[in-house]
Amino acid sequence: VTYKKNLSYPKQATKRAAGKNTIPSGKKCKNAIETSSNKADYAKWSTKKLSKAQLAKLRLYAERAFEFYKAAETTLKIAQATNIQTLLNNAAFGAGNTKEATTNYGPGSRAAICSGTGDAEKNKAGSSLKLDLLCLCAYDHGDGSNGAKVCGTKTAAAGGSNNDNWEGNTKTAPNWETLKAACEQRKTQVKLTLATVEAIRLRLAELLGRQTPADAEAHRYVLGSIAGNGSEGCKGNKDSNGGRCVKYKESDVTDPAKGIEWLRNLRDAALAKEAAADANKEMTAITRSLQLLNDSTNLLFDEDETTLAAVTTHNPSATGSKAQEQKQKEQCEAIKVETECKGKKPICE
């Protein structure tokens, strides 16, 4: 979705703003207008004679238009969909990845990448939805149908040998394509909102907080199926599929400021989406306000002509003055008595 609004000032209100401090780079703006499609409008206003009161109104309209314009610049940035898409890409494929191209999550083995087993520093669990799904579902050591025990049917590539294993740095593409196709068949019409993201968070918290064997510390913060005491971690296929899992870091689950990275990006995307919706409402209001200013300025132009017409009625032209003088002369000639003439001053003088 592309969000775009017309941020032009009201055509009339910006044509003749009095005071160079009202709008920065006034001369530059004036030159831009004179060379644009608004040139004719500007020319009309540049020759218009306005009273001080009308100039004050026009200055006010221009200042308000500029305030709305600056507000619109900020609002438009919030409304851009690009930020939302970036956050969604980060959630799906990892920070900085705009596509599904990542095929190597190494260094390290699948157990190290998916659970930090043997090397906690190599644990990438939670960095993207794609990786977590691969840790849970991708083929490894044995019958591909084992993946169905955790992820459902037709989610793991039907490999036939150890050469088809997903180990975090090999066979990523075929395993991901199979998994993605299965996900697309299951996708729902649930929309991205804060409420839906919160529902996901609560469900994850429930799954990760479930009771585990008292002597199996390695079972903590595990999503999926882990075998025995969990010492071998999320290896892929252990003890009847007991190693298809993802194990999050403790801070991912217990630190509110951190959290699982893909879930955090998903929540930020939902927040950005809501902010964009609010920003678009604000843009609509700003656009309406700018149009009202434009209409008010047009009325000011018409009001000026009406005022001039009224002034013309009470201020006779040169032709009208001569006619009035002739009439006064005729009145004086009709007065026969000098005393009457004197009584008619200043008509007869």
Confidence of residue 207 (pLDDT cuts 50, 70, 90): confident
Averaged pLDDT for residues 78-92: 84
- Asked if residues 113 and 168 have their Cβ atoms less than 8 Å apart, the reply is yes
DSSP 255-288: -TTT--HHHHHHHHHHHHHHHHHHHHHHHHHHHH
Cα angle for residues 155, 133, 140 (degrees, 5° grid): 65
- Give the contacts of 83 (CB within 8 A, at least 6 positions apart): 272
CA 162 to CA 263: how far, in whole Å?
A: 33
CA 55 to chain centre: 37
Cα angle for residues 24, 29, 35 (degrees, 5° grid): 175
Cα angle for residues 45, 51, 52 (degrees, 5° grid): 110
Confidence of residue 291 (pLDDT cuts 50, 70, 90): confident
- For 128-173, how does the pLDDT look when each residue is reduced to its tens digit (9 = 90+)? 999 999 998 887 765 545 555 667 666 666 555 566 678 888 888 8
- For 330-349, how does the pLDDT look when each residue is reduced to its tens digit (9 = 90+)? 554 554 445 455 555 554 44
- Asked if residues 138 and 169 have their Cβ atoms less than 8 Å apart, the reply is no
- Asked if residues 150 and 114 have their Cβ atoms less than 8 Å apart, the reply is no
Averaged pLDDT for residues 61-87: 82
Taking the complete model, does pTM exceed 0.85, yes or no?
no
**pLDDT over threshold 60, residue 327:** no
- Asked if residues 134 and 166 have their Cβ atoms less than 8 Å apart, the reply is yes
